[in-house]
A = this chain, B = another copy of it.
């Protein structure tokens, strides 16, 4: 597994829960995971190919029930060990790149109305995302008997907690910009 390529571990993590095709993996990443990680076909398929060679994943004998080609992947014992080793590794890179904050930081050369506008755009996005997360939360609460779901739940709670903090900040920031 490539040293700093995390898509491998995302795929491994998803396959640890259930067998999936590359296409399925992409859909999963575009769901709840997309709030803290992203991935495209252009990275998923090559990664699957490489991990197959390394025997971290393997193809399930394709069920020919439907005629269309469809490669279902399964995690191997080695794959599970790789995943566990990563989970046990204390190093975790948490990286935030917020263009909105850049626009706050450098907003001083413009009229304050521009910054207020940028806060409002951000606020709108956050509100929409918060709705989605609350929907996920409601769904997960029905199935918390499953250990994996409890873990998914943690990330959803994280999202809600931070997005609510964002909203609080939006109000504070707008207030400051409207002062004086």
Residues of A within 8 A of B (CB): 6, 9-10, 12-14, 16-17, 32-33, 35-38, 80, 83-84, 86-88, 90, 92-110, 114-115, 117-118, 121-122, 125, 147-148, 150-155, 157-158, 161-162, 164-166, 168-169, 172-173, 176-177
Which residues in B have their C-beta under 8 angstroms from that of A86? 103
Q: Are A106 and B87 in contact (CB under 8 A)?
A: yes
Task: Compute how far the CA of A32 lies from the CA of B32 in the bound complex, rounded to whole angstroms.
Answer: 30
Task: Compute how far the CA of A36 lies from the CA of B14 in the bound complex, rounded to whole angstroms.
Answer: 28
Which residues in B have their C-beta under 8 angstroms from that of A104? 151, 154-155, 158
**Could you name 12 residue pairs across A and B whose Cβ atoms are closer than 8 Å?**
A10-B102, A36-B105, A37-B97, A87-B110, A90-B118, A94-B98, A94-B122, A95-B97, A101-B155, A108-B147, A150-B176, A157-B169
Majority-rule SS of A interface residues: helix
> Measured between C-beta atoms, what is the minimum distance from A111 to chain B in Å?
10
- Closest residue of B by beta carbon distance from A164: B165
- The 7 A-B residue pairs with the shortest CB-CB distance, nearest first, are A13-B106, A165-B165, A108-B148, A36-B101, A92-B99, A161-B169, A94-B98
Task: Compute how far the CA of A83 lies from the CA of B114 in the bound complex, rounded to whole angstroms.
Answer: 12
Residue from A105, A114, A154 having most chain B Cβ neighbours under 10 A: A105
Q: Are B10 and A109 in contact (CB under 8 A)?
A: no
Given contacts A107-B87, A109-B16, A121-B92, contact A6 B155 (CB under 8 A): no
Q: Are B173 and A166 in contact (CB under 8 A)?
A: no
> Measured between C-beta atoms, what is the minimum distance from A149 to chain B in Å?
8
Q: Are A153 and B176 in contact (CB under 8 A)?
A: yes
Q: Are A96 and B36 in contact (CB under 8 A)?
A: yes
